[in-house]
Structures are given as structure tokens and as C-alpha cells.
């Protein structure tokens, strides 16, 4: 979160990708709104020009909030959000002020705080936005208007100047809020101490600490194919535990239908893929091969139904009415498989598989959607097949499963941005060589086959 917040500060206040996505949505939802010729930012249409076109060519929304089609309702919501944001934070980008910018030559400025230079900077970064507004105010005050239509331009200049102080205050507050998030995130990470969890005799992290007795539980997180590898890598990156702890994680393999994969506790997609939301998976490495095999084994495990199995809620309920929860998985991948019947298919498991089987995963999600596994807040928690071919839907949403799905989508749509943020940390960069471990050898693979 620290690196992500800092990254947001260095990005434009309004990102070009947001605009092109909205442009595509409007074109799909409202047909004639956008020009038939696609105008990509950086390829014929600048960011300010695209904002101007989007706001000027307001589509003929009809009951946008109550639209029958999701795309229409979402396009309407995003369009309104853009219009409100520009009005409040970047009013100089409103279409009515274009003549003013053309007159002053402000549309060709280079520096975020110096509007006399010659490269576009009407959309500054968030960390420089408040200074940009100060420079813009100064330029409007210092540059006299001598145009023949100066009465109209003077009116525009007066209107814009009146809007800028509030915009500057909002931008300063937004910058301060995000900088505060970055600072708090860094403080929280630095305050974490993994060292006291280290079981010296095994050089592994204990699963628990008894606050009453001050003793560590003797059991340890010891499988590479589990969420334990996140804590292990981060603890090493912070210097809380020695690097050799990483090599104490078990690399026990299992061979399933000719595919060699690391062994996990319960054979869930979660154990293999959740750490990959943050941690890069380098090609032709031990972890990459294991994840690829595990995802394909998961896909091939079921027949005639959607795939993707992890710990999740299932159709039985407790006395309180809440759904019960259990670790479901693929028995052949599990060291200790405790679940009985199954399978129980959880959509978030498919989201986790997006980096490795994108097309298959998207097709799987579409299939789930056609089977009405979707509610008001997205895909349901799970579909329980323990009683036969007709699933019982677990109509709930667990925040951490929805969060994993959103992070997986963010990585898919934004070039693994969450991984980029994690690896931007200097300690992680210094430790990431551990992730380049070579895969199991052919000789070991042949031994497994025997």
C-alpha cells in the first residue's frame, strides 16, 4: 500500500486509460456518442482534448441509473463521476474554458508549475497539481487580455479564477490524504516484527504465539505452496529472520496426471495463487512451474461443471444462520485433505487463475454468470455440488475473497500493478532473487513417476 500510494501521487490527476475506457463504454452503450474512429491518447487526441470531447458530446442518457443493461448504467455512473471530478478538481479542463487556454497558450505547457514552457501539462500529477493551480492563477492575473473578444475572455478568466482556490484546496487535501496513507502503511510495516515467531530449531515461522504463556506453538508454516511464503519473504526482506528460513520451506512434489507440482496442505487454488497477487512469478522457475501445474490440475479435476476450488463457505448453515466454512481442494495436491464430499466451486478461485489461464478463466467466469452465480455484489461465495449435479448456491460475499478478486482484476487490466507496487519496496527488491529458484530437475521428475 505504501508503494501504491506513492505511485498514485506520481500519476496524472486524471489518467488517460480511464478516459479511453470510458470512451469505449459510452460507444458500446450509447452507440452514436463517440466518433466511429477510435482516438487513442497519444495517437491523435490529447488527454485534455479527450476530456473536452467526452464532456461536450454529452450522450443522451435515458434513465441511466435505472438502465436495464449493466453497461449502460455503469457508463452513466462513470460519465457523471468524471464530470463531477473535473468540475471540482480540474475546472480548467471544462470545455467552456478552451478559448481562454487557446488565447493564453496554456494548452502547450511543459512543466507542472511553469506554464510558459511548451509541452502539455494541463493534466499534472497529483503531487504537483496544487502548484500547477498556483501557477495557473498567476498566469491569468499577469497576462493582460487584448483580444478583440476580450469581454468574453475576461468573463471566462474571472469565472475560472473564482473556481481555482477551491480546486487547489481539494487537490492539496487529496494529496495529503494519499501521502498520509503511504506514511501510515510504511509505519505499519516497520512496526511488524516476525522475528519473535521464528522457531530457532527449525528456522521456520510458528503458526501461533500464546500471549498468556509467552510461548510459541511448536507447529510451523512449512510449505512453499501456501500463503506462508508471503510472510517468509517479507520477514526476510525486513531483516527479521535469516534468509535460510526460505530454504526450510518444504518443496515436496506430487505428480498428478503427468504434471509435477509442489504439495500443498489442502490442494486449494488459494494456497498456490494468492501469494502471486503480490509476488512476481518469474518464467521457468520452481514456483512458476508449480503454479502452472496446479492451476491446470484444478481445471481438469472437475467435469461438466465450472472449475476452481479453494477454502470457502458451503451450503450448510450454523445455528446462527451463517454458512459454514471449510478448506476444499483437489485431494491429489493435498498433504492432509480433510474435506469429505465435494466439489465446492468458488468463483474467487477462478479470478486467482487469471494470470496463468486468462482465456480459460474468463470463459469459466462467463459460464458461472450464465448459471446465475452473480448477485448484487458480484459473484457469490460458492456453488456447492456435494449433493449432486444441481449446485446449491452460497449466497454470501466474503470481503477477503472479493478483495482477492479485485486485486487479480487490477493486475490483469493494469499490467500487474499490484506486483509492481510490492516489488517497488527496496527490501523486497533486494530479496526477490529467492523467487528465481530453478524448477525440479528431470531426474527428480522421473523419480516421482516411479
Give the residue carrying C-alpha cell 466451486: 345
CB atoms within 10 A of CB 124: 23
Neighbouring residues of 105: CB distance < 8 A, sequence distance ≥ 6: none
pLDDT at 142: 80
Alpha helix positions (H), 90-125: 98-104
Round to whole Å and give the CA distance between 35 and 53.
10
pLDDT at 364: 97
pLDDT at 56: 83
Neighbouring residues of 82: CB distance < 8 A, sequence distance ≥ 6: 14, 18, 19, 22, 51, 54, 55
Q: Which three cell numbers stand for residue 431?
A: 530479496
Are the CB atoms for 352 and 410 separated by under 8 Å? no
Question: How would you write the pLDDT of the chain (450 residues) with one tens digit per residue?
Answer: 899 999 999 999 998 888 888 888 887 766 645 444 444 444 557 888 888 888 887 666 555 555 556 677 788 888 899 999 999 999 999 999 988 888 776 654 433 444 444 334 689 999 999 999 999 998 888 876 765 556 678 888 889 999 999 999 999 999 999 999 999 999 999 999 999 999 999 999 999 999 999 899 989 989 999 999 999 999 999 999 999 999 999 999 999 988 999 999 999 999 999 999 999 999 999 999 999 999 999 999 998 899 999 999 999 999 999 999 999 999 999 988 766 677 999 999 999 999 999 999 999 999 999 999 999 899 999 999 998 889 999 999 999 999 999 999 999 999 999 999 999 999 999 999 999 999 877 666 666 665
Give CA 222 to chain center in angstroms: 28
**Domains of the chain with bracketed CATH:** 2-189 (no CATH), 252-449 (1.50.10.140)
Burial class (CB in 10 A: 0-12, 13-18, 19+), 450: exposed
In DSSP terms, which residues pair with 394 in a beta bridge? 382
Q: Which DSSP symbol is given to 380?
A: -
pLDDT at 119: 36
Alpha helix positions (H), 307-398: 347-352, 358-370
| Backbone region of residue 321 per phi and psi (left: phi > 0; alpha: psi in -120 to 50; beta: other values) | left
CB atoms within 10 A of CB 409: 12
Are the CB atoms for 230 and 279 separated by under 8 Å? yes
Q: Which DSSP symbol is given to 104?
A: H
Residue 315's nearest CA partner among 291, 282, 284, 346 is 346
pLDDT at 124: 92
Alpha helix positions (H), 192-268: 228-238, 244-247
Concatenating the DSSP letter of every residue in 389-445 gives SSPEEE----HHHHHHHHHHHHHHHTTSHHHHHHHTSHHHHHHGGGGGPPPPPHHHH
Amino acid at each position: 500500500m505504501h508503494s501504491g500510494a506513492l505511485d498514485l501521487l506520481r500519476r496524472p490527476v486524471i489518467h488517460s486509460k480511464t478516459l479511453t475506457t470510458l470512451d469505449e463504454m459510452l460507444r458500446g452503450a450509447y452507440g452514436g456518442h463517440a466518433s466511429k474512429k477510435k482516438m487513442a491518447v497519444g495517437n491523435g487526441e490529447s488527454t485534455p482534448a479527450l476530456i473536452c470531447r467526452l464532456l461536450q458530446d454529452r450522450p443522451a442518457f435515458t434513465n441511466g441509473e435505472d438502465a436495464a443493461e449493466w453497461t449502460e448504467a455503469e457508463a452513466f455512473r462513470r460519465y457523471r463521476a468524471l464530470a463531477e471530478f473535473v468540475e471540482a478538481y480540474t475546472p480548467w479542463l471544462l470545455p467552456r474554458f478552451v478559448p481562454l487556454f487557446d488565447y493564453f497558450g496554456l494548452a502547450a505547457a511543459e512543466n507542472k508549475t511553469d506554464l510558459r514552457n511548451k509541452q502539455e501539462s494541463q493534466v499534472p500529477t497529483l503531487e504537483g497539481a496544487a502548484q500547477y493551480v498556483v501557477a495557473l492563477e498567476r498566469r491569468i492575473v499577469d497576462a493582460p487580455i487584448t483580444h478583440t473578444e476580450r469581454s468574453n475572455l475576461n468573463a471566462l478568466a474571472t469565472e475560472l479564477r473564482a473556481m481555482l482556490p477551491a480546486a487547489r484546496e481539494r487537490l492539496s487535501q487529496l494529496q495529503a490524504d494519499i501521502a498520509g496513507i503511504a506514511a501510515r502503511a510504511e509505519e505499519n510495516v516497520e512496526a511488524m516484527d516476525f522475528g519473535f515467531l521464528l522457531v530457532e530449531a527449525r528456522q521456520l515461522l510458528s503458526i501461533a504465539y500464546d500471549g498468556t504463556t509467552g510461548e510459541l506453538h511448536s507447529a510451523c508454516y512449512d510449505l512453499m505452496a501456501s500463503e506462508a511464503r508471503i510472510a517468509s519473504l517479507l520477514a526476510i526482506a525486513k531483516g527479521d529472520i535469516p534468509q535460510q528460513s526460505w530454504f526450510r520451506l518444504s518443496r515436496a512434489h506430487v505428480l498428478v496426471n503427468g504434471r509435477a507440482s509442489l504439495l500443498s496442505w489442502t490442494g486449494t487454488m488459494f494456497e498456490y495463487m494468492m501469494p502471486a497477487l503480490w509476488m512476481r512469478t518469474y518464467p521457468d522457475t520452481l514456483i512458476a512451474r508449480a503454479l502452472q501445474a496446479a492451476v491446470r490440475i484444478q481445471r481438469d479435476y472437475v467435469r461438466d461443471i465450472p472449475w476452481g476450488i479453494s477454502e470457502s463457505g458451503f451450503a450448510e448453515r450454523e445455528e446462527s444462520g451463517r454458512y459454514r466454512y471449510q478448506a476444499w481442494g483437489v485431494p491429489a495436491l493435498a498433504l492432509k485433505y480433510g474435506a469429505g464430499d465435494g466439489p465446492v466451486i468458488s468463483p474467487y478461485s477462478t479470478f486467482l487463475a487469471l494470470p496463468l489461464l486468462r482465456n480459460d478463466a474468463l470463459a469459466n467466469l462467463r459460464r458461472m454468470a450464465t448459471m446465475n452465480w452473480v448477485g448484487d455484489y458480484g459473484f457469490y461465495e460458492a456453488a456447492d455440488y456435494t449433493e449432486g449435479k444441481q449446485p446449491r448456491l452460497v449466497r454470501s460475499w466474503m470481503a477477503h475473497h472479493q478483495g482477492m478478486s479485485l486485486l487479480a482484476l487490477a493486475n490483469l487490466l493494469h499490467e500487474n500493478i499490484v506486483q509492481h507496487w510490492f516489488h517497488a519496496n527496496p527490501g523486497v527488491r533486494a530479496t526477490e532473487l529467492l523467487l528465481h529458484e530453478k524448477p525440479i530437475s528431470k531426474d527428480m521428475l522421473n523419480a516421482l513417476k516411479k
